[in-house]
């Protein structure tokens, strides 16, 4: 009997590089770290996209700060929070796609009841 369900994990196998696992669901590390998460995980396309969006938001935040436009600052804060939630929600999908592009393939699932 499982009281707390575990976050499902996908097991991937590469013929030369071995095995890796990718969690499914929300990624707290991507939520908090942003493009740094993408560098550490070597998901280069995600890094480029996140970095460009973050640089634009940083620039707009600086402009709004210099102009003392508090309404714009509030709006940018909400956009930053929405971006963090978006990163956390889709990060593991980006990681899975990155591994599959590098030649990793899903392993067949072993059924826990048969073990």
pLDDT of residue 2: 56
pLDDT averaged per 10 residues, the chain (length 115): 66 88 90 93 93 95 92 94 96 92 83 49
pLDDT of residue 115: 45
Task: Report the sign of the C-alpha dihedral through residues 94, 99, 100, 106, in that order.
Answer: negative
Asked if residue 91 lies in contact with residue 46, where contact means CB atoms within 8 angstroms, the answer is yes
pLDDT of residue 79: 96
Using CA atoms, how far apart are residues 10 and 96, in angstroms rounded to an integer?
9
pLDDT of residue 52: 96
Quote the pTM value: 0.79
What are the residue boundaries of the structural domains of the chain, listed by start?
22-102
pLDDT of residue 4: 57
């Amino acid at each position: 009997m499982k009281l707390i369900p575990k976050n499902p994990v996908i097991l991937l196998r590469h013929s030369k590089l071995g095995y890796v696992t990718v969690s499914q669901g929300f990624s707290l590390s991507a939520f908090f770290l942003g493009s740094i998460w993408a560098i550490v995980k070597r998901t280069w396309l995600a890094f480029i996209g996140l970095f460009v969006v973050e640089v634009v938001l940083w620039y707009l935040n600086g402009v709004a700060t210099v102009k003392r436009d508090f309404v714009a600052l509030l709006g940018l804060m909400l956009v930053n929070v929405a971006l963090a939630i978006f990163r956390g929600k889709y990060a593991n999908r980006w990681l899975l796609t990155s591994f599959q592009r590098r030649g990793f393939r899903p392993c067949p699932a072993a059924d826990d009841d048969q073990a």
